[in-house]
Structure 1
């Protein structure tokens, strides 16, 4: 059986990191489609506007912690309030260059976050992640 490739969302204000992660995913043919947002607010608006169309909702979101306008924590709070309106399960991975144990513990206590990943993700990590998805 052929596995369906996921639709990926990347929410990160760092355009270079967005590009790098997209390039790794695309070069290794790990996604059907990728959509990017530079802050959580734009991503929340997108999810709200598309909540009734599953094909427009990412399967996986890579969410940066530190961003202007709406950071990762604020995004998660907003997402938690709208997730029942979205009929598709979204797996959210929080990305951060922070190795602060407080951030890691905070993320582990939030049901909407599947895992906390230290940036930058290396090619081997991305491949292993998608092999296990």
Structure 2
């Protein structure tokens, strides 16, 4: 498991810190990279996709982001050619919205949906 990578896409610094800290307590070997915007993450992802290097093993995605949101990120993944994700994508959102939950459960790229803040049970499920 050494050297595995997790990306967090969330515009809230406190949420990023809390997720990084919680995951680091249980899985300190994971390399965690954070992004504040979908554009920033997509730019990095495109570089990794071309070289087939540096892709994350897991990705935590907030839905409520400015400019491009989490759903836009998923649409862009499909445009890049990611129809079956080479990494596990988990939605982590502060807003419990039944429409988003239903949409996430039926989306082929999304593995699961969690409320913020992540608790130990959620982290255990992500890394099960």
CA distance in 1, matches of 2:114, 2:39: 21
Q: Tell me, what secondary structure is at the counterpart of 2:56? A: coil
Aligned residues: 128
Taking structure 2 as the reference length, the TM-score comes to 0.87
1:26 aligned partner: 24
Q: CA deviation at 1:85?
A: 9.6
* Offset from partner CA, 1:8-61 (integer Å, 9 cap, x none): 000000100101111111122354311100011111110001213444110110
Unaligned runs of 5+ in 2: none
Q: Check the 8 A contact 1:5/1:30 in 2, yes or no.
A: no
Unaligned runs of 5+ in 1: none
CA distance in 2, matches of 1:124, 1:30: 17
Q: Tell me, what secondary structure is at the counterpart of 1:125? A: helix
Q: Tell me, what secondary structure is at the counterpart of 1:107? A: helix
Which of 87, 91, 100 pairs up with 2:88?
Answer: 91
Taking structure 1 as the reference length, the TM-score comes to 0.84
Q: CA deviation at 1:93?
A: 0.5
CA distance in 1, matches of 2:119, 2:90: 15
Matched, 1:108 2:109: no
Q: Tell me, what secondary structure is at the counterpart of 2:7? A: strand
